[in-house]
Chains A and B, each alone.
Chain A
């Protein structure tokens, strides 16, 4: 079968390849950037969702679009109060101290957790190597005794890093992906936030954080001089049904913000909405450039091939036939470009996940958008060249040198 658009594309292999690449790069940018921005946030939200709790309590006034929750927030007494005020409804209220720590060259929101609450916060994941920090809470109890009990004469300033280290306070558990990316393993020493830590355990990824430390350590080091406050409180309810009611009760009682953990996703999205807009704008520009490419290519193709188009018309090709040739060429090129773009996106996504801790989620939704945009662009950019092709004067084209 003589199929002219394909024959044309194959006749000008390099030019066609460059054009398909131009489109492919546009598509790849669209998929990778949106996949990266949304994927990384989605991955964080997924990890929060994995926490075995329904409600999240954080300080009143931080608002819905609060910057990343971290540092001193709620008094630990709220946790006790929430449990006491809702007997039979709240299984446990667990304070967590969140703090950004740079590990493996990237900032992570590390979670200061009590070893006893590990199962709730790590999303049910068992350590795949090593052990948990401060397993029998001896450091926690010692620190509480030093700082919380009236009788103690010690104060914050007299406790040194050496004390902390000797009592197992400067120990970290990291997740498997960070361990792989940063080439860290159980037993390694790392210097983070001006302290020397030891990695004592590795847990499969998927829990609240990538980096865990003892909550008392976090409070002591990053809690502005007091170990009475954490950042947020996770509340595990006995009965999933009563989430709304429990949420209202706790809000009324504590007068703090209470949201469902699943809503954290929306909070992240609100916070990063501007970035999405920015990324999407860049994507649109990339696609437009890709299609200017095609439009120019089709236009030069039409100009270069006036004679061939004139010949087709001399056999009686209708305007529709001529337009179809130009359009088909544009669509074929776009099809190739889409295939390249999608293929490269998956490869790029995989590569990014190997080299960094970002997550690239290339959803079918975005592939559909990319393909739709590509084909719409293909049709639009074929319009003017097709119109020019239709207007070609046969005699002029076939007699002029």
Chain B
């Protein structure tokens, strides 16, 4: 499903450059549920941005479903991004749009229409009452759950989640994790989830640990 070889990524230039990823290798099989753990600032989010094709590595390769996907033409990369579902650590929602419209616009971008699944996801995540509400009038945890709905509405084969349970209470955390596990089990959806919680990681099939821009093994 997904292979990353020798990924390097730095921010900034010259003397102020920060080396974030320093030769990271990762291999995730189709239908796997992988949790990524590691100390703050070790580059987890950066890795997710690379896997989500939001930015290109300085060095190294990323292969997705048997094709090399780093450094492809912009249009092709955009089309590939549509098939991925991504939940970012922060700033997930468009403030001008209601929760439902936030989901719909992502479907629109992907050239899809709203299906019954969307309402189902709103129900399952306990945010059905927020459909018409704008993000500024939601709690962080509610916003995060809307982002989950949006990331899953198009049934992506690959779901990338950056601390999706970070702002949720234990009941909602449990609920979300169970949903991830079920999707992974029943629909063989590939999930890569970043988390700081050992309990959350326990749900995943495999946990990898990161430190200083590499995986530990």
* Contact A4 to B94, CB < 8 A, known contacts A319-B75, A394-B55: yes
* Contact A319 to B74, CB < 8 A, known contacts A4-B96, A7-B96, A312-B109: yes
CB pair A315 B82 closer than 8 Å: yes
CA gap between A1 and B103 in the complex, in Å: 11
Is B124 positioned at the interface, with any CB of A under 8 Å from its CB? no
Q: Chain B: which residue is nearest A320 at the CB level?
A: B75
CB pair B104 A395 closer than 8 Å: no
Partner of B86, one of A2, A4, A8, A314: A314
* 0/1 string, B82-121, CB within 8 A of A gives 1: 1110101011111111001110111011100000000000
CB pair B90 A398 closer than 8 Å: yes
CA gap between A398 and B108 in the complex, in Å: 21
CA gap between A307 and B95 in the complex, in Å: 10
* Contact A7 to B86, CB < 8 A, known contacts A314-B52, A315-B81: no
Tell me if A's interface is mostly helix, strand, loop or mixed. helix
Q: Chain B: which residue is nearest A319 at the CB level?
A: B74
Chain A residues 313 to 358 lying within 8 A of chain B, measured CB to CB, are: 313-319, 321
* Contact A11 to B96, CB < 8 A, known contacts A312-B105, A313-B78, A315-B82: yes
* 0/1 string, B26-55, CB within 8 A of A gives 1: 000000000000000000011001001011
CA gap between A2 and B150 in the complex, in Å: 13
Partner of B54, one of A8, A11, A314: A314
* Contact A307 to B91, CB < 8 A, known contacts A312-B105, A393-B55: yes
Is A311 positioned at the interface, with any CB of B under 8 Å from its CB? yes
Is B79 positioned at the interface, with any CB of A under 8 Å from its CB? yes
CB pair B88 A316 closer than 8 Å: no
Is B133 positioned at the interface, with any CB of A under 8 Å from its CB? no
Partner of B109, one of A10, A316, A319, A394: A316
CB pair B94 A1 closer than 8 Å: no
CA gap between A35 and B73 in the complex, in Å: 52
Is A308 positioned at the interface, with any CB of B under 8 Å from its CB? yes
Residues of B within 8 A of A4 (CB): 94, 96-97, 105
Partner of A395, one of B55, B81, B92: B55
Residues of B within 8 A of A166 (CB): none
CA gap between A164 and B108 in the complex, in Å: 85
Residues of B within 8 A of A316 (CB): 78-84, 109-110
* Contact A318 to B45, CB < 8 A, known contacts A7-B96, A312-B109: no
CA gap between A10 and B97 in the complex, in Å: 10
* Contact A395 to B49, CB < 8 A, known contacts A314-B54, A316-B109: yes
CA gap between A312 and B102 in the complex, in Å: 10
Residues of A within 8 A of B88 (CB): 314, 398
Q: Chain B: which residue is nearest A390 at the CB level?
A: B74
Is A399 positioned at the interface, with any CB of B under 8 Å from its CB? yes
Partner of B45, one of A8, A10, A313, A399: A399
Residues of A within 8 A of B93 (CB): 311
Of the listed residues B46, B52, B54, B100, the one surrounded by the most CB atoms of chain A closer than 10 A to its CB is B54
Chain A residues 1 to 51 lying within 8 A of chain B, measured CB to CB, are: 1-2, 4, 7-8, 10-11
CA gap between A316 and B76 in the complex, in Å: 10
Residues of B within 8 A of A321 (CB): 109
Residues of B within 8 A of A398 (CB): 54, 88, 90-91
CB pair B96 A1 closer than 8 Å: no
Residues of B within 8 A of A314 (CB): 52, 54, 81, 86, 88
Measured CB to CB, the closest approach of chain A to B48, in angstroms, equals 10
CA gap between A313 and B46 in the complex, in Å: 17
Residues of B within 8 A of A393 (CB): 55
CB pair B94 A308 closer than 8 Å: yes
CB pair A2 B81 closer than 8 Å: no
Measured CB to CB, the closest approach of chain B to A159, in angstroms, equals 82
Residues of A within 8 A of B92 (CB): 311
CB pair A2 B95 closer than 8 Å: no
Interchain Cβ contacts under 8 Å between A and B, 25 examples:
A2-B100, A2-B102, A7-B97, A8-B96, A11-B95, A307-B91, A308-B96, A311-B91, A314-B54, A314-B86, A315-B105, A315-B106, A315-B109, A315-B110, A316-B81, A316-B84, A316-B109, A316-B110, A317-B78, A317-B109, A318-B78, A321-B109, A395-B55, A398-B90, A398-B91
Identify 17 new A-B residue pairs, CB closer than 8 A, beyond the known A2-B105, A315-B106, A319-B75. Answer: A2-B100, A2-B102, A2-B108, A7-B96, A307-B91, A308-B94, A314-B54, A315-B81, A315-B105, A316-B79, A316-B109, A316-B110, A318-B75, A319-B78, A394-B54, A394-B55, A395-B54
